[in-house]
A and B are shown apart, each in its own frame.
Chain A
Amino acid sequence: MASRNLQRRTILDPAVADLLAGMENKQAEARLPRRVREKKAKERAKIRARRDQRVTYDLPPQLKQAMFELAESLSLPASQLATLALHRFLQSYSEGQIDLLKYKKPSRSPRYEWKLEFPAEWWQK
């Protein structure tokens, strides 16, 4: 005999499920004390404000780890270290100090003509 704790699942249109979940969240939030509601609203505003600053890049895991370790050791946010590194790179690149030709190889991707291949020893400790 099936367990009594089992609950039959309702299969919903994914859009309906998303909308319903969003509406139920808002309804639940409306019942919270004013102070908690204000705190949640502030958090949402903060997340919205940060949206323009967010970006996702694919990095080699070793580089990601090295950035994390450096940020930890200096007690700094990794985002600010990445900002500094990228700014310095763009500056050096515009001054002609960085030559991409050394790394540039034809790409087979339908989207890009070129790719950069970096020396393997960069990622070896």
Chain B
Amino acid sequence: MFIIALANQKGGVGKTTTAVTLASGFTQHQKKTLLIDLDPQGHIAFSFGFDKNPGLYRWLVLDEPLDEIVQTVRPGLDILSSDKRTESVKRHITLMDFRETILFDRLKDSDYDIILLDMAPSLDVLHINGLVACDWVLIPTRPDAMAVDGVKEILLTMGEITQRGHQFSGYSILPTFFDRTTRETITQFQEIVKTFGERVLPPIPQDTRVREAAAYGKTLWEYSPNSPAMTGYLEGKIQVGGYKQIVDRLMEVIDG
């Protein structure tokens, strides 16, 4: 089992879209995948065309078994939804012993191949739980100064968690909403590459199809598999970036 957390304390950087698209991509590699929504906005279920429901609340507060509350949204892909009751989950966890490892403890015996944690853009007990539970942190970021600052915040938090004894296998930075024609994108991208080097993944181009897909309750694999967000840019003769390439890159990490 390999757990990936999608985190950035800045909102609107593409965490949920990335989580949904990668989860669907992993199932195409015959990986049994679970996507857990840790954000009270509950947009994971919405993205697959389902209604929000308090799955996380039922699992962590009412102690219902995971396999009874997950929803199978596509073949090989289950989700655990969130809604506004996820706020109560945070209050509940805060009062518990060993509160920072609850998610880790509950997931360690799971039989999924890959678990994705879609984190809320905040720094609360659920967020820390997600980071403690995961093997790999994927940090989507827009190429703008505020989002890049969010990356630094996450890395500081990860540093604190590492000091307490947790070992991450690694992390990657995923530039999203990438528009290579603007000077600011180039400047920010250069900064990101200079700072994070090999940890920077090929970017996801800005693409209106992403918003359309969510509106129809479809994944990008279903709605628009050949759109720029999926296939990336043609740089010379090779494709660069796009979610298909990111799935391949992460499969290399997962399969070692």
Inter-chain CA distance A1–B183, complex, in Å, is 40
Taking a contact as CB atoms closer than 8 A, the residue among A15, A16, A20, A23 that contacts B238 in the complex is A15
Q: Return chain A residues, CB-CB under 8 Å to B245.
A: 15
* A27 sits at the interface (CB 8 A): yes
Binding site for A on B (CB under 8 A): 180, 183, 186, 189-190, 193-194, 197-198, 200-203, 232-233, 235-236, 238, 240-241, 245, 249
Identify the 4 closest CB pairs spanning chains A and B, nearest first. Answer: A15-B202, A15-B240, A10-B197, A11-B198
List of B residues within 8 angstroms of A22 by Cβ: 235-236
Beyond A10-B194, A16-B240, 8 additional contacts (C-beta under 8 Å) are A11-B197, A12-B200, A13-B202, A15-B232, A15-B240, A16-B193, A19-B235, A19-B241
Query: Is B201 a contact of A16 with CB atoms below 8 Å?
Result: yes
Q: Does the CB pair A12–B235 fall under 8 Å?
A: no
A11 to chain B, nearest CB (A): 5
B233: A residues at CB distance < 8 A: 19
Interface contact A23-B189, CB-CB below 8 Å: yes
Which residues in A have their C-beta under 8 angstroms from that of B194? 10
| A24: Cβ under 8 A from any B Cβ | yes
Q: Flag if B186 contacts A16 (CB, 8 Å).
A: no
Known: A23-B189, A24-B186. A13 touches B200 (CB 8 A): yes
Residues of B within 8 A of A10 (CB): 193-194, 197-198
The total of chain A residues at the interface (CB under 8 A) is 13
Interface check A18, CB cutoff 8 A: yes
- Measured between beta carbons, the chain B residues less than 8 angstroms from A23 are 180, 186, 189
How many Å from the CB of B85 to the closest CB on chain A?
Answer: 40
In the complex, 9 of the A-B residue pairs with CB atoms within 8 angstroms, ordered by the A residue number, are A11-B198, A15-B240, A16-B201, A16-B240, A19-B235, A19-B241, A20-B190, A23-B189, A27-B183
Are A16 and B235 in contact, CB atoms less than 8 angstroms apart? no
Write the chain B residue with the least CB distance to A10.
B197
| A41 CA to B76 CA, complexed, in Å | 49
Write the chain A residue with the least CB distance to B186: A23
Name the residue on A nearest B245 (C-beta): A15
A19–B203 touching, CB < 8 Å: yes
Closest to B175 in A: A16
B202 touches A16 (CB 8 A): yes
CA distance A15 to B190 in the complex (A): 14
CB-defined contacts of A20 to chain B, threshold 8 Å = 189-190, 193
Which of A12, A18, A19 has the largest count of B CB atoms less than 10 A from its CB? A19
Residues in A whose Cβ lies below 8 Å from that of B235: 15, 18-19, 22
User: Closest B-chain residue to A20, C-beta based?
Assistant: B193
Q: With A19-B180, A19-B241, A20-B189 in contact, is A12–B197 under 8 Å at CB?
A: yes
**A16 CB contacts on chain B under 8 angstroms:** 193, 200-203, 240
Taking the closest CB of chain A, its distance from the CB of B160, in whole angstroms, is 26
Q: Report the minimum CB–CB distance from B148 to chain A (whole Å).
A: 15
Whole-angstrom CA separation of A13 from B173 in the bound complex: 11
Q: Contact between B200 and A19 (Cβ–Cβ < 8 Å)?
A: no
Given A18-B235, A19-B180: A27 and B200 interface contact (C-beta under 8 Å): no
In the bound complex, CA of A16 to CA of B193 (Å): 8
